[in-house]
Amino acid sequence: MKKLGIDVGGSGIKGAIVDLDKGELITERFRIETPQPATPKAVAEIVKEIADHFKWKEEIGIGFPAVVQQGVVHTASNIDDSWIEVEADILFSDITGRECHLINDADAAGLAEIKYGKGNQQSGTVVLVTIGTGLGTALFRDGKLVPNMELGHIKVKKKTAEHYASDAVRKAEGLKWKKWGKRFSKYLKRLEELIWPDLIILGGGASKKFHKYEKKLKNKTTVVPAELLNEAGIIGAALAVESQNIDVSK
């Protein structure tokens, strides 16, 4: 089964056609820079351009950097404020001429990793943390997604976690990987105190450097780097089209 998945990011919007039977991209990723300002209409036009590029006529799954409930965007931490309370499923569907389904971007990456990657066959509670400009999180219980868990916004050392231990903070403060790893470990400890996960999966750009800070993660929970890396968001967005109840436990 083939679906088009699109991942909306702060710097780029990228998409590809996905084979959902295998959890693999079957085309090259097509990327267009995110328009500035990234207003709803401007972003939707880019999504249409990507769909046109692939000559895609069917439903589209879109991973989006915000809380999305029933197709409506409710937050704007890392996107333009004009998105708040936009009925985005309807907007994208109208502009692209295809039925569109939005899902939080971290939830999309988590779906992919649970279905096809390191979380496959893992029972109990699994949390995926995407490490980038912020800290995105996806929470699963026995393979079922608990959507829109903004666990990157919990407090660590009196700071919002993503302002304390994101990759953007590491770069801004010039932290070496080992020193940042100690800091990130404190964030994971807070997650452990709150949700007692059975497995923590790390995604996003910093997961590629896992070997540089792995030994500094002094956590009780098993922590592993994601398997699908940069493709997870696209694959998960495509998967969300097929599973509106978002149950990948089977």
Q: CATH fold of 2-107+231-242, please? A: Nucleotidyltransferase; domain 5 (3.30.420)
DSSP state string for 169-222:
HHHHTT--HHHHHHHHHHHHHHHHHHH--SEEEEESGGGGGHHHHGGG---SSE
pLDDT in tens, 131-176: 988 899 999 999 999 999 999 999 999 999 999 999 999 999 999 9
Quote the CA–CA distance of 133 and 220 in Å, as a whole number. Answer: 26
Q: Looking at per-residue confidence, does 246 or 51 come out higher?
A: 51
Give pTM, 2 decimals: 0.91
Superfamily assignment of 121-226 in CATH?
ATPase, nucleotide binding domain (3.30.420.40)
Residues 196-221 have a mean pLDDT of 95
- The yes-or-no answer to whether 2-107+231-242 and 121-226 have a common fold is yes
The residue ranges of every structural domain in the chain are 2-107+231-242, 121-226
